[in-house]
Amino acid sequence: MGLRNAWPAGVANQVELVGVPFFPQQDYQCGPAALATTLVYSGAKITPENLVGQVYLPARQGSLQVDMQAAPRRYGMVSYRLAPRFDDLLREVAAGNPVIVLQNNGIWPIVKWHYAVVAGFDYPAGELLLRSGESQRLAVPFTIFEYTWKKSDYWAMVTLPPDRIPATATESSYLAAIVAMARVADINAVTLAYTTFLKRWPDNLTASIALANHYYERGALKEAEAVLRQAAVHHPDSVVVLNNLAQTVSDQEKQDEALALIDRALRMEGPFAAVARETRVMILQRMAKSR
């Protein structure tokens, strides 16, 4: 494996996240236990028992990876799948984020899938520190961990509160993680996630549109307007931004400016020209009414 001679640059030699809680697993329920470990660490108020109905599959005596990724979203947490690299695992832990991993602890032909939480590592000793099953602090040599982890194609995920971004997150993958969370999460959590995202990647068009729409849906027109104005600076030719800004401005009775914006949008071609024309008609109707 090479970690012995190629330790990733900038990563401390020893890290142990002692604040990561421990939930000894019941029966086959390492999935709920592992998920509760990282979710509680991120600030969710839950127990493994709360999660059993959401991630445990009694007929198969275990938990699916997809359920592990999906369940945190319901608690307003962003679940982020790591790139399949040892480096990324270590970087997340070093940044203070415990990582859920899927291991196959069996030896051919026995298959034993198991979720554990990496809560630290010790480079001089060559060990990873896991919360695993009924062990609160299981020290596993790098080589053995690699052997068991490889078989899941190095599957690993973190669950972070919406005001934090994983250390190894990339712009597109993390945006996808937030969009996925927005399906079911509380609107405040989603808004916070997009706001945090835009602080890191301010000129991301999709995130700007999404955040503005969330503000708009809850009637926060001023906030929606501010986000869209910022987006219009970065993307002056976006029909979507101009259309949505025109709508938002028009809703605040500023019809002249709305009309100017939508006319700018209509100078561009694209799949949303029809919507923009509808917006223009609506603005003209509102203008006629107010006279």
Residue numbers 88-117 binding other proteins by CB under 8 A: 102-107, 110-115
Q: Which position among 209, 231, 249, 258 is part of the footprint of other proteins (CB under 8 A)? A: 209
Least distance in Å: CB of 272 to other proteins? 6
By the 8 A CB rule, do 198 and 211 touch? yes
Contact by Cβ (8 Å): 242, 261: yes
**CA–CA gap between residue 32 and residue 285 (Å, rounded):** 55
CB-nearer residue toward other proteins: 94 or 169: 169
Closest by Cα among 126, 76, 82 to 100:
82
Closest separation in Å from C-beta 203 to other proteins: 16
Distance of CA 48 to the CA centre of its chain: 21
Contact (Cβ atoms closer than 8 angstroms) between residue 23 and residue 47: yes
Q: Does residue 30 touch other proteins according to CB under 8 A?
A: yes
Closest listed residue to residue 85, CA positions, set 30, 21, 6: 6
Our CB check for other proteins shows the closer of 95 and 226 to be: 226
Q: Which two tokens stand for residue 50?
A: 């709360």
Give the range of 3-11, 87-95, 119-127, 174-182 binding other proteins by CB under 8 A: 174-182
| Given 16, 43, 47, 60, the residue binding other proteins (CB under 8 A) | 60
Contacts of 58 (CB under 8 A, 6+ apart): none
Tell me the window of 42-50, 85-93, 207-215, 253-261 that interacts with other proteins (CB under 8 A). Answer: 207-215
Closer residue to other proteins (CB): 25 or 196 = 25
In the set 11, 180, 221, 260, which binds other proteins (CB under 8 A)?
A: 180
Among 62, 76, 98, 161, binds other proteins (CB under 8 A): 62
Nearer CB in complex with other proteins: 86/194: 194
Nearest alpha-carbon partner for 258 in 266, 248, 267: 248
Q: Which C-beta is closer to other proteins: that of 83 or that of 107? A: 107
Residue type, 7: W
Cβ atoms 83, 99 nearer than 8 A: no
Is residue 193 part of the contact set for other proteins (CB under 8 A)? Answer: no
Q: In Å, how far from its chain's centre is CA 116? A: 20
4 or 13, CB closer to other proteins?
4
Cβ of residue 133: shortest distance to other proteins, in angstroms?
A: 4
